Structure 1
Amino acid sequence: MGKLTLTTFVTLDGVMQAPGGPDEDQSGGFEYGGWVAPFADEGMGEFITEVFGRAEAFLLGRKTYEIFASYWPEHDDPADPVAGKLNRLPKYVASTTLKEPAWGPVTVLDGEHLQGEIVRVKDELEGELQVHGSGQLAQWLLARDLVEEINLLVFPVVLGAGQRLFPTGGLPTAYEVVSSRTTPAGTAVHTYRPTGRATFATIGD
């Protein structure tokens, strides 16, 4: 049985939109794309290499799939731990609008029973079914307790605008820290596993 994991880049104020470049995602009038670039360093690369080394398949939202599809086929290298995996491993896209995906191997999951389909795909794997970026999909998965592990890379920058990973109205959830490190550029890399609903009490009681 596999494991569904989520890897996300966020700012200090929780923004996850368009980390990779100015034109990556300008929806909502977002003007600050490419905020990861000043902090990309060897430590970040080492962690991403570790993550992709555990991948057996990818689960992506439509927008992230299209962003990846426009870049990675043109930057292919079988020996590269990221390009090699993304271009060759199975990709599953949760979308009701993607009809003719060209970047394979790919399966579009667009049925009424999306949650069951995702669980079925994951359970047929031995390694990780990995979600990268895919903001709306990530929120949908978190709201249904489907994410079994989160890799959260927190970059030392505040933007004040943009799509956030954890929106108002999300499920109150407690997590345990599996591992933690800081890269030379100051990015905090944390891996968390959910432990159940958040609990509440008064300090000192």
Structure 2
Amino acid sequence: MKLTVTTFVSIDGVAQGPGGPEEDLSGGFEHGGWVVPLFDDDTGAFIEEVFGRGDAFLLGRKTYDIFAASWPNATDPDDIVADRLNTLPKFVASTTLTDPKWGPTTVLDGDIVSAVAELKSRPGRELQVHGSLELVRTLHEHDLVDEHNLLTFPVVVGQGRRLFAERGLDTRMSLVESRSTSTGVIIAVYRREGRAEFGTMEVE
């Protein structure tokens, strides 16, 4: 399976607490819910496209808990996001989750890098990561992410954790697809292409 990551980010790179004021208060974060005023029908349509390609989900513990508290209550048969989340296999990276109530769920409590590599070797379309910021950083550092679906919202949040660590693995990406929405969200799909290249700008 191809491993894809879908992330909401602000113009200043913040990926923390996009969905609500109480979603992630770690580090004193006070600006949660910054995507809500800008999440339009076009953005929703893209998210449905993404979920329609998924065959399994890989989540961090915090994102899993957030999802498990709400998505099981969504029972509309026409809601593709709810249908996929509630029925497809979910794998959770956690050393503390022992009895997940939201199935079908498998807890990955050992070497996450080896476990994810094994999952990727299985047949299927996409193993999808949503949210799960710390997990995404780990996956990126070990070259396990094949594609990033990056949704950049036109807002400067001003505080919070960024998608990528301040120091990390240099990576070259190619742009697979891009579009914009009615509220100015820039949707871009990037494919990993190996190590980044560097050079010097010269004046003719």
Structure 2: which 5+ runs fail to align?
Answer: none
Partner of 1:172: 170
What letter matches 2:188 in structure 1?
A: H
Offset at 1:76?
2.5
CA distance in 1, matches of 2:51, 2:123: 15
Contact 1:7 1:132 in 2 (8 A): yes
Alignment map for 1:29-178 (pairs within 5 Å)? 29-111=28-110, 113-178=111-176
1: CA distance between counterparts of 2:184 and 2:123?
A: 34
Paired residue type of 2:61 = R
RMSD: 1.1
Deviation digits for residues 37-62 of structure 1 (CA, Å, limit 9, x no counterpart): 11011110110011001000000000
Deviation at 1:203, TM superposition (A): 2.2
Deviation string 1:110-143 (CA, Å, 9 cap, x unpaired) is: 11x3212111112213110000000000000000
SS in 2 for 1:121: helix
- Aligned-residue sequence identity (percent) comes to 57
Supply the AA of the counterpart residue of 2:29.
F
After TM superposition, the score normalised by the length of structure 1 is 0.96
Q: Please give the secondary structure, in 1, of the residue aligned with 2:37.
A: helix
Query: In structure 1, what residue type is equivalent to 2:107?
Result: V
Give me the TM-score of the superposition, normalised by structure 2: 0.97
Distance 2:73 2:118 in 1: 31
Displaced runs of 4 or more, over 3 A? none
C-alpha distance in 1 between matches for 2:40 and 2:106: 33
8 A contact 1:56–1:125 mirrored in 2 = no
User: What residue ranges of structure 1 are gaps of 5+ in the alignment?
Assistant: none
Instruction: Please give the secondary structure, in 1, of the residue aligned with 2:172.
Output: strand
